[in-house]
Amino acid sequence: MSDTVIVVGGGIVGLTSAVVLAERGRRVRVWSRDPAVGTTSAVAGALFWPYRIEPAELVGPWSLRSLREYVALARDPAATGVRVVAGLMTDTPLAGLGSWARELPEAREARADELPGGRGQALRARLPLIDMPAHLRYLEGRLRAAGGSVERRTVGGFAEAAAEAPVVLNCSGLGARELVPDASVYPVRGQLVVVENPGIDEWFVSAGEDTAGTTYLFPQPYGLVLGGTADEHVWDPLPDPGTAAAIVERCAALRPELRGARVLVHRVGLRPARPRVRIEAVQLPGGARLVHNYGHGGAGVTVAWGCAEEAARLAG
| Binding site, annotated residues for D-dopa | 216, 271, 298
Instruction: Give SS3 for 37.
Output: helix
Q: Where are the beta strands (DSSP E) in the chain?
A: 4-8, 27-32, 82-90, 108-109, 122-130, 149-152, 167-170, 186-195, 203-206, 215-220, 223-227, 231-232, 263-273, 278-283, 289-294
Contacts 24+ apart (CB under 8 A), 181-187: 182/274, 182/278, 182/294, 184/274, 184/275, 184/295, 185/272, 185/273, 185/274, 185/294, 185/295, 186/232, 186/233, 186/273, 186/274, 187/232, 187/233, 187/234, 187/235, 187/270, 187/271, 187/272, 187/273
Peptide bond into 156 cis (omega under 30): no
Q: Where are the beta strands (DSSP E) in 42-185?
A: 82-90, 108-109, 122-130, 149-152, 167-170
The binding site for FAD consists of 40-41, 155, 297-302
The binding site consists of 40-41, 155, 216, 271, 297-302
Contact 24, 312 (CB under 8 A): yes
User: How far is the C-alpha of 25 from the C-alpha of 149, rounded, in Å?
Assistant: 13
User: How far is the C-alpha of 128 from the C-alpha of 284, rounded, in Å?
Assistant: 38
Task: Characterise 162 by phi-psi region: left (phi > 0), alpha (psi -120 to 50), beta (else).
Answer: alpha
Query: Which residues are within 8 A (CB) of 183 and not within 5 positions of it... i.e. 6 or more apart?
Result: 177
Contact 55, 277 (CB under 8 A): yes
